[in-house]
Amino acid sequence: MNRFTLSLLPLLLIAWAAALFLGSIPLTLADIRLSDSPGSRLFFELRLPRLLGAAMAGAALAMAGAVTQGLFRNPLAAPSLIGMTSGATIGAVLYIVVLGTYLPGTIGLPVAAFSGSLCVAAFAYRIATSGGQTRTSILLLSGVALSALAMAVTGYLIFLAGDAQLRSITFWTLGSLGGVGYKEITLSAPPLVLGSLICLLVARPLNLILLGEREAYHAGIRVERIKWLIITAAALTTGGATALAGSIQFIGLVVPNIVRMITGSDHRTLIATSGIGGAILLPLADLVARTTVLPAELPLGVVTAGIGGPFFLYLLLRERSRLL
């Protein structure tokens, strides 16, 4: 680890401590010593699983963003561009409006969202692959097209939804960690952890691919397999995070770009450091969401979009000035 990565570790602990002890009801260590006290229940039953969910989702999304930007060789790329977030959304809305009546249960919604993300990713990959080669430009365009189709289907389902279903859809599409418990974390942990591990494993091959696919092939890198692994990792992490907390935008865009500005483009450092950055940023965003408009709570997606939107515009302006 470089110095910047090591310097993030104290900030990580501070961010986590703030997420655990600050809120509408501030807590101290004395409040959680007694197992049956209200403070202890608030800490272990609400804030701790919420922090774990935010840290896992934030780290996985940031790492997926780093490898996606490396695959497309574009700092403006993010996993959502391949249509994965739209796929997760259509899966969730389909469950709320149609399948929930026949398949009730707390795990049905996250499973539907995760399945939707994987299906869209697989379809986009299939469209972009021909003759054993995957063209990243076609992959990006197919993701945009599938996102548009998913939005059309989602809009039609929303048109059919009742009032209670509309409230559930709004809550889902804006994102929230308010309903995260240990059951939801257990369900979402496997794809998030597996996707994050894949991101770490492709760091060195991705560095070589950035030099050129032909050069990477002659260096012994199985380029098409690495592309497939990156898409799979992005699908796993995006699907798992969306299934856990709804639609969360811009984490996969903002964090890797901030880290890249400081550490450079070596993915062996960039991916791991982005994971730490995501595990800092999303818990802090969640803290802002639940403390800004007390006693109400802002949707998490509103906070992340408020952070990511201006940063995205900054990246666009920087790219424009670089090309002129």
**φ, ψ of residue 89 in degrees (nearest 5):** -65, -45
What are the structural domains of the chain? Answer: 3-323 (1.10.3470.10)
Q: Are 206 and 70 in contact (CB under 8 A)?
A: yes
| Percent of the chain with pLDDT strictly greater than 90 | 22
- pLDDT confidence bin for 106, thresholds 50/70/90: low
- pLDDT confidence bin for 105, thresholds 50/70/90: low
Q: What is the pLDDT of residues 241-278, one digit of tens each?
A: 888 888 887 898 889 988 998 888 889 999 999 999 99
Q: What is the pLDDT of residues 309-324, one digit of tens each?
A: 887 787 777 766 665 5
The pLDDT, as a whole number, for residue 1 is: 63
- pLDDT confidence bin for 30, thresholds 50/70/90: confident
The dihedral of CA 239, 244, 247, 252: what is its sign? negative
Output the six-digit token pair for 269. 């450092």
* β-bridge mates for residue 129, sequence order: 134
Q: What value does the mean pLDDT of the chain take?
A: 85
First vs last C-alpha separation in the chain: 36
Contacts of 108 (CB under 8 A, 6+ apart): 95, 99, 100
Length of the chain as a residue count: 324
The pLDDT, as a whole number, for residue 322 is: 67
Instruction: For residue 196, give the nearest of 165, 143, 239 by alpha carbon.
Output: 239
What is the average per-residue pLDDT within 49-64?
94
- Neighbouring C-beta atoms of residue 203, cutoff 10 Å: 19
**Gap between the Cα atoms of 208 and 205, Å rounded:** 5
| Percent of the chain with pLDDT strictly greater than 70 | 95
- pLDDT confidence bin for 56, thresholds 50/70/90: very high
Q: What is the pLDDT of residues 145-160, one digit of tens each?
A: 888 888 898 888 888 8
- Prediction pTM value: 0.89
* β-bridge mates for residue 133, sequence order: 130
Residue with the two structure tokens 């272990």: 44
